[in-house]
Amino acid sequence: MTKKKYNISVEATLEVIGGKWKCVILCHLTRGKKRTSDLKRLMPGITQKMLTQQLRELEEDGIVNRIVYNQVPPKVEYELSEYGWSLKSILDALCDWGEKHIIKEYGDKYAVLEDNILNQSDADLQSLTNK
């Protein structure tokens, strides 16, 4: 293994979670195990090839666990590893900043955010569970 040199430590972070899709995948996995088909449904803009590639890279970096069930038909799920869970505060901070940016640029966050579970506030989720 060749020793790598970084100019600043954030380069190491971005090497692992950078790009358009990895943080989105990780945010979905903070809500629990997901099958590839679940992730594809939650992220309609990603191609199957890109999703598979990103999941493999995250698995190689020890961020996600790939769980293969010995059954027919085959079943595979992905979950955050213990190491992956250490990114939770970073992911939360990115979401918080993104929400503030959307409000600054567009005023109403719901005018530009897709309607999915990641975009619901804790109050929204609490009201859903009390119904």
What is the CB neighbour count within 10 angstroms for residue 58?
Answer: 24
| Out of 26-40, 53-67, 95-109, least confident range | 95-109
pTM metric for this prediction: 0.81
* Domains defined along the chain, listed by start: 9-129 (1.10.10.10)
* Rounded (to 5) percent helix, strand, coil in the chain: 55, 10, 35
**What is the distance between the terminal CA atoms of the chain, rounded to a whole angstrom?**
55
| Out of 10-19, 46-55, 60-69, 119-128, least confident range | 119-128
Tens of pLDDT, residue by residue over 29-54, are: 999 999 999 999 999 999 999 999 99
Q: What is the pLDDT of residue 106?
A: 87
Find the largest Cα–Cα distance for the chain.
Answer: 56
Sign of the CA dihedral running 126, 89, 114, 53: negative
Chain length of the chain: 131
